[in-house]
Structure 1
């Protein structure tokens, strides 16, 4: 196991480690041309047991893991997978202190994936990305989008958003973050002019981080590959050779995950086209300062 992956895995949530074990084992089995029935017989288990392992509902026991890897023709990867399994069993998700109303079940996977990614790329059409928001800006966004929330519910979500930023942007081995933001998002008066100004100043500060890049897609760009709305593309460590990454699209009721290679590729292509049509990263401060002049 590489030193790089050991560092990443040590801070990766159990939720994500289980997903990685499941994803990798399923791909190895399929590449070897082995059925679930054959895999089940090798560990003296049931097809349902293999199904639970490959959907991250359960982790294989150490002996089961070694037998499966031997069956799939990659026994040399035992140490790698056993390390993943150990961390998945002993780890603790960073959001564990938040209740279910603040962190619904569908959102837990995203929080784990985001904090485990080596690259986070996004397109934001309406507002500034959550990873970049100030507390006041986030508070105004949540209040405006969810007027039915009580003040305490709003504050819990603001706290969660700030915790996300600390977990992702300020970890020792922070990921590369590349955001394409619409011109409209820089000008939408969220909360008040003072709140928007403070948010724009925050963007200028964040841009100085070596692992953060931002681009503006001008209104003059016309129709583009992001007209369907915002999305986030996550890339994971190279050691997970079979993982194509993941795309997350936030909806009003719940988030949607796209994990099939063709689906992820479609979003990567859309994002690449947005990056190409957007102004260069070095022009970002100019856009922000122009927006601030109008406040």
Structure 2
């Protein structure tokens, strides 16, 4: 059985991906599945898109025709937990929810993933930001937003950190950050120094590997943008996880094994060029010392 406390949104997504991959492996079409369960093709499509869940008898029939009946207990447990409970961000004011509605799936996957890896080229990741640094980043990215709303988004980000970093079984985290992002003064030199100290402290924690891509690394394969790789729980036998890439308008999820492999290879090359994790706390504190107050 999967560990408890996982996001219903993530569970529903994982359920959908597993159902689709099992159908593909069985060599069946959606039409054939719909006929077997005496349902409709659109209904099967909704299940595979994560918009709905099959009824218990439909699930049993699907697993039977997929040749996966032995996994019935697992999928019924997954289905039941996807239907109950609520995600941690539910309850924030509607104005906040509207601003981050496109992030619902990412927040769910992140808060449930056993391993999070990323390349961060512009700013330290939101999962590691101090409140003051986060406020400065959000204020710059959302010009014109009332300060009251900005502070609600900061609160959301701090809650996100607690939900991921302080959960019962924290994820293994491996991030590569560009040195240029660390030297950029955000908010003020004092705010940036505090942020660098927080990164140094986090880098010393078990389960967190933080590397810095130095300025003298020259050309590298991370110039096309930042990305995050989210690993799925091992119980999901057919689902390798996904890569999340965020743009100004929306986020994109890449879940095909070939796509994930390309991103993972890119991250591996960045790791080779970056500092060793054990050296990062010292370098971060040295960068902080280099910053000068006006």
Name the TM-score class by shorter chain: over 0.9
Pick the aligned partner of 1:71 from 40, 65, 73: 65
Corresponding residue for 1:184?
Answer: 180
Corresponding residue for 2:241?
Answer: 245
Corresponding residue for 1:226?
Answer: 222
Q: Answer yes or no: is 1:211 the counterpart of 2:224.
A: no
CA–CA separation in structure 2 for the residues paired with 1:65 and 1:34: 15
Pick the aligned partner of 1:40 from 24, 34, 40: 34
- Give 1:100 shift: 4.5
Residues 113 and 231 of structure 2 are in contact (CA less than 8 Å); yes or no, is this contact kept in structure 1?
yes
Q: Answer yes or no: is 1:86 the counterpart of 2:86.
A: no
- 2:86 match: secondary structure: coil
CA–CA separation in structure 1 for the residues paired with 2:96 and 2:246: 15
Q: Answer yes or no: is 1:15 the counterpart of 2:9.
A: yes
- 1:197 match: secondary structure: helix
CA–CA separation in structure 2 for the residues paired with 1:293 and 1:275: 25
Residues 203 and 277 of structure 2 are in contact (CA less than 8 Å); yes or no, is this contact kept in structure 1?
no
Pick the aligned partner of 1:95 from 89, 95, 104: 89
Structure 1 residues 16 and 182 mapped into 2: Cα distance closer, same or farther (>3 Å)? same
1:240-262 residue CA offsets vs partner (Å, 9 max, x unmatched): 11112111112222222222222
Structure 1: state its 5+ residue gaps. Answer: none
Residues 204 and 281 of structure 2 are in contact (CA less than 8 Å); yes or no, is this contact kept in structure 1?
no
CA–CA separation in structure 2 for the residues paired with 1:229 and 1:222: 16
- Give 1:149 shift: 1.2
* Aligned pairs (5 A) from 1:1-295: 1=1, 5=2, 7=3, 10-103=4-97, 104-295=100-291
CA–CA separation in structure 2 for the residues paired with 1:294 and 1:219: 15
CA–CA separation in structure 2 for the residues paired with 1:56 and 1:221: 42
Structure 2: state its 5+ residue gaps. Answer: none
CA–CA separation in structure 2 for the residues paired with 1:132 and 1:36: 42
1:81-123 residue CA offsets vs partner (Å, 9 max, x unmatched): 0000100111211100124442333210000000010100011
CA–CA separation in structure 2 for the residues paired with 1:245 and 1:110: 12
- Give 1:194 shift: 0.7
1:50-89 residue CA offsets vs partner (Å, 9 max, x unmatched): 1111111110001100111011111010000000010011
- 2:96 match: secondary structure: coil
User: Would you say how many aligned residue pairs link Structure 1 and Structure 2?
Assistant: 289
Residues 201 and 281 of structure 2 are in contact (CA less than 8 Å); yes or no, is this contact kept in structure 1?
no
CA–CA separation in structure 1 for the residues paired with 2:130 and 2:271: 25
- Give 1:226 shift: 0.6
CA–CA separation in structure 2 for the residues paired with 1:148 and 1:264: 37
1:145-193 residue CA offsets vs partner (Å, 9 max, x unmatched): 2222110121111011101100000001000011101111221111111
CA–CA separation in structure 2 for the residues paired with 1:157 and 1:57: 27
State the TM-score, normalizing by the size of structure 2: 0.95
State the TM-score, normalizing by the size of structure 1: 0.95
- 2:270 match: secondary structure: helix
